[in-house]
Amino acid sequence: MLLPEFINETSRIENFFDKELTRFQRDEWFRELKNISIQRYRQIVQEAFRKCKYMPKLADILEIQRSLTFNAPEVKEKVECDICNGTGFVMYKKHFKDGNREYDLDYAARCTCANGMSQNKNIPLITEVNLA
Ligand SMILES: [Zn+2]
């Protein structure tokens, strides 16, 4: 999140608990929290309203961040695969003839492993383009 987003959202905590962070605390909070998305920070703040009886410390905020799993971005697990090297894609070339001109174009097909299955379904499978 950006500094203005952080300040805006953090001021909601300050208002709610009727206590202000010092400049130093604010800097420290931001340093620890800046890699969190604003959407997630909003969830954390909301959870702090529910859980904390007093103005949360940075440790409390980080604790909530760790305990909150809902709406967390989905981390796709990679499986090992010799066909696609774990990428889910296999590149192949299509040969084209256009009058006298002949050329190859690169295409991607989805591997039939779990990596490929989690990719965009509009991309053909390697079995559909006869690569496997
Ligand atoms: Zn694969």
pLDDT tens over the chain, length 132 residues? 999 899 999 999 999 999 999 999 999 999 999 999 998 999 999 999 999 999 999 999 999 999 887 554 555 678 999 999 988 999 988 889 989 999 988 888 999 999 999 888 888 999 998 887
**Angstrom distance (rounded) from CA 104 to CA 40:** 45
CB-facing half-sphere around the CA of 123: CA atoms within 13 A: 18
Whether residue 56 sits in one domain with residue 34: yes
**Domain that includes residue 55, residue range:** 3-67
- Domain end, chosen from 23, 50, 67, is at 67
- C-alpha 27 to ligand 1 mean position (Å): 44
Last residue of a domain, one of 67, 90, 119: 67
Q: Is 130 left (phi over 0), alpha (psi -120 to 50) or beta?
A: left
pLDDT at 130: 83
Residues 40 and 89 in one domain: no
Q: What is the Å distance from ligand 1's center to 89 Cα? A: 7
Separation of 88 CA from ligand 1 center, angstroms? 5
Tally the domains of the chain: 2
Task: Measure 106 CA to ligand 1 centroid, in angstroms.
Answer: 18
